[in-house]
Amino acid sequence: MVIGSIMDERTTILGAGKYQLTFELLDGGIEDGETYEKFIRLTFAKSVAPLFEIKLADAEMNVDLPLETNAVPAR
C-alpha cells in the first residue's frame, strides 16, 4: 500500500483484513536536515470491528461538517 501526499509518499505492507486507523498531527521538527511545521503519524491496528471516533480535536477542526468515514479501495 502506498500512503502519500503532494510532497511525500511511503510504501507499507498490510495483510488482508480490517484495520483501525489512528491519525495523529504532531508538532514538527527537523528530519534529514529538513524543517517541518507538522508531522503526521498513521497507525494501523488489526481490528475485527474498527470504529470511527474523534478522540481529540483542536479549535481548528470543524466537527459540524459531515465527515467521510468509508474508504473506497484505489484502482
Ordered by start, the domain boundaries in the chain are 2-46
| Window from 19-23, 60-64, 71-75 with minimum mean pLDDT | 71-75
**Contact call for residues 22 and 43 (beta carbons, < 8 A):** yes
Nearest to 18 by CA among 47, 40, 39: 47
Span 26-64, pLDDT tens digits: 888 888 888 888 888 888 999 999 888 877 777 777 778
User: What pLDDT score was predicted for residue 48?
Assistant: 92
pLDDT top residue among 62 and 11: 11
Evaluate if residue 15 carries a pLDDT over 80: yes
